[in-house]
Amino acid sequence: MQTKHRVCHLSDIPIRDMRCVSLADRNVVVAHTDSGVYVADEMCTHEDARLCDGNLNGTLIKCPLHGSRFDLTTGKVLDDPAEDDLVIYPVTIENDTIFIHLNPTDQSL
């Protein structure tokens, strides 16, 4: 059974912008795109770089360190040097609050 975790207020993140948010057991990046809100693990899958310090272009997020891009709709990595996909969390929005839903198998970071 999934558990629901509050992330932040939608109104705290301007459209076409993103920010990193620390939750109890993981750090995530929240992207407010024209086509919706996406929440992913904060760190690039290549090395230690916070994706919220990179660039957001539509639903593509670009790592600030070596430039790999990830598709926030799927988590797929699009460019070298990163090889592993990004973890993307299911999102719901209630009133102005963004929630993610975790499975029991989701590992703490």
| Residue among 49 and 88 whose Cβ is closer to ligand FES | 49
* 21, 40, 68, 70: which one binds ligand FES (CB under 6 A): 68
User: Cβ contacts of residue 29 below 8 Å, gap of 6+?
Assistant: 18, 19, 20, 21, 39, 40, 41, 42, 50, 51, 52, 61
| Residue among 8 and 77 whose Cβ is closer to ligand FES | 77
Site residues, ligand FES (CB under 6 A): 44, 46-47, 49, 63, 65-66, 68, 81-82
